Amino acid sequence: MQDEMTPKGKTALVIGGGPAGLMAAEALAQAGVAVQLFDAMPSVGRKFLLAGKGGLNLTHSEPAELFASRFGGRQELVAPWLQDLGAAQLRDWAQGLGVETFVGSSGRVFPKDMKSAPLLRAWLHRLRVAGVQFHMRHRWVGLEGAAWHFETPKGPVQATADVVVLALGGGSWARLGSDGAWVPLLQAARVPVLPLQPANCGFDVAGWTEHFSSRFAGQPFKTVALSFTNAAGDSFRRQGEFVATATGIEGSLVYAASALVRDEIALNGSATVYLDLLPDKTAERVLAEVAHPRGTRSLSSHLKSRLGLDGIKAAILHELLDKASFQNPAALAAAIKALPIRLVATRPIDEAISSAGGVAFEALDADLMLEPLPGVFCAGEMLDWEAPTGGYLLTASMASGRCAGLGAVKYLSR
């Protein structure tokens, strides 16, 4: 029900049909604002649907304080979004769309059917019922005065509205719509934008041999730990899994360290991470087993028999260690527990799960309105923040969309 403070008869454009844009549209429509949503792709939520292919990780069930800590240097800026739409509220929101969720063994939260498509269909139905109008294949190409310009298959289109929410995504997965083409458009409007960089990304090593690359690319390192300390003393250590690639490493454990590693490479040209191949065994135990007399057995057979080291774990030792290290039990045991891997470059941004950089928070007020463009709000991955995988990125994107949408409603009500 509308009251005297509701912005009756007001209009809004939402540009971008990912989770942040859809959530902004929902907040506006629920307040009685007439919303038109524009997206360059033939349909909305393409990256959202792709994220659900292996099971949609909607959010994470850990305590709110720990959840908020996952946003690093942007924690204080992201925390207010999560107070309004955190993990618990997001599960309630999904429940309101008829989608039951459950907590997996890792604490991650998924729809019971693991799929993103039913959730997206129910969400779009709710938005259409609320009056949101969708305009597909409309690519934003510029702003002149109050007119927002779009390219469409039928020619140029202009639109105006009382408020606008931009939710144009970051710079990863261009084929799904997040291509960063908006950066020069906002810069032309005097909005400060930090360069887009890969986040949750893989890395190239100084160079695998052809032998290792051809035999082990695509194979996983299971039950290992990765550690890294940057030049400033910031440290990372976590146990998990990752995958060898033809040129380096990628996967969930690598993604978790990617922000620190990426920034170190940018600063110093390379970053050395350390791989613990046997995190469940102490350094003393490993040394004792390596030094145990092996009789006539080969070293490879000895390591497999005493420590279970074979396959890709044994191969990377041969890849990165010299012969002298294999002949020195102390050096070999030390390498098994902390094998240095020098990383020299991030993989291209279009291969990354997400991106860092974007619209500077200094250009935004607490409601995510652009100070150089009153009445224009920003949300989602186009803002200068990043988060690890595990439900954090999606939750905060949706929460920022709600913050921007409610901010636009507040602006209209003044």
Give the strand order in the sheet containing 376-378: 133-135, 34-38, 11-15, 163-166, 376-378
Task: Express each pLDDT in 39-53 by its tens digit.
Answer: 999 999 999 998 888
Q: Are the beta carbons of 61 and 110 closer than 8 angstroms? A: no
pLDDT band at 323 (very low <50, low <70, confident <90, very high): very high
Percent of the chain surpassing pLDDT 90: 93
At residue 271, the pLDDT reads 98
In the chain, domain spans:
11-199+356-413, 203-346
Q: In the predicted model, is pLDDT for residue 11 greater than 50? A: yes
Percent of the chain surpassing pLDDT 70: 99
Task: Express each pLDDT in 152-202 by its tens digit.
Answer: 999 999 999 999 999 999 999 888 899 999 999 999 999 999 999 999 999
Q: In the predicted model, is pLDDT for residue 7 greater than 80? A: no
At residue 2, the pLDDT reads 40
Nearest to 161 by CA among 397, 375, 382: 375
- Mean pLDDT, the chain, integer: 95
Q: Are the beta carbons of 127 and 25 closer than 8 angstroms? A: yes
Phi, psi of 276 (to 5 degrees): -95, 110
At residue 6, the pLDDT reads 59
Phi, psi of 353 (to 5 degrees): -65, -40
Task: Express each pLDDT in 96-128 by its tens digit.
Answer: 999 999 999 899 999 999 999 999 999 999 999
Q: In the predicted model, is pLDDT for residue 92 greater than 60? A: yes
If you average pLDDT over residues 225-246, what whole number do you get? 96
176 vs 4 pLDDT, higher one: 176
Fold of 11-199+356-413: FAD/NAD(P)-binding domain (3.50.50)
Task: Express each pLDDT in 345-396 by its tens digit.
Answer: 999 999 999 999 999 999 999 999 999 999 999 999 999 999 999 999 999 9
The 10 Å CB-count burial string (b at 16+, else e) for 380-395 is bbbbbbbbbbbbbbbb
d(CA 366, CA 389): 25
Contacts of 258 (CB under 8 A, 6+ apart): 198, 199, 200, 201, 203, 346
At residue 414, the pLDDT reads 86
Contacts of 252 (CB under 8 A, 6+ apart): 240, 241, 242, 389
Task: Express each pLDDT in 244-282 by its tens digit.
Answer: 999 999 999 999 999 999 999 999 999 999 999 999 999
At residue 29, the pLDDT reads 97
